[in-house]
Amino acid sequence: MNEIQRIGLFCGAQTGVQPSYGQAAQAFAAELAGRGLDLVYGGGSVGLMGVVARTVRDAGRHVIGVIPRALTTRELSGDVIGELVVVDTMAERKERILTLADAFVTLPGGFGTMDEMFEAITWGQLGIQGKAIGLLNINGYFDHLVQWVDHAVDEGFIRKHHRPLLVSSSDPAELLEMIAGHTPPAGITRWE
């Protein structure tokens, strides 16, 4: 893949109500491992993040979890998955993940997941980083979000040249290919 060695993951600390979310998360993790990619994520062992991290680790790839001290009792259940970095704040967690990853993928999640993803997009919009950001659109989970982004472009609240900062697919292999072929919009360079 195009200089990409480590994927940053944003996703839920829950598995959702449909078993297909967990199944798709596991398939995505298998695709990552099959491509020889490592993972950096929120550090929890629960929810979709636990499913992906465990699958990647069990396939022999390196996993780095970054978790705020305050969440260790909520998001860690049982084993620690891979290398665990404990930080003091959510802001430190996001900055560390944004720094360590070469590209980002978002799976279904809630407010925290969206916060992490939108911070990565905002860093791209501001020219701080040019790393690809993708949505794994399981069961159409992100359909309304993608429609909103397109609507915001049409209404002039997101510049057209920033729209390519976010790509989307329901297929893990296709999404990773889109990320590998990502070219940052003009004026944005890869942040190292």
pLDDT given at position 191:
38
pLDDT given at position 75:
64
pLDDT given at position 184:
65
Q: Are 8 and 120 in contact (CB under 8 A)?
A: yes
Quote the crossing angle between the two packed helices 111-125 and 90-100, to the nearest 10°.
60
Question: Residue 3 — pLDDT band, cuts 50, 70, 90?
Answer: confident
pLDDT given at position 74:
66
The amino acid that residue 153 corresponds to is V
- Distance of alpha carbon 11 from alpha carbon 52, whole angstroms: 9
pTM attached to this predicted model: 0.91
Mean predicted confidence (pLDDT) in 156-183:
92
Query: How do residues 120-146 score in pLDDT, each as one tens digit?
Result: 999 988 888 889 999 999 999 999 999
Q: Are 22 and 59 in contact (CB under 8 A)?
A: no
Query: How do residues 76-97 score in pLDDT, each as one tens digit?
Result: 656 789 899 999 999 999 999 9
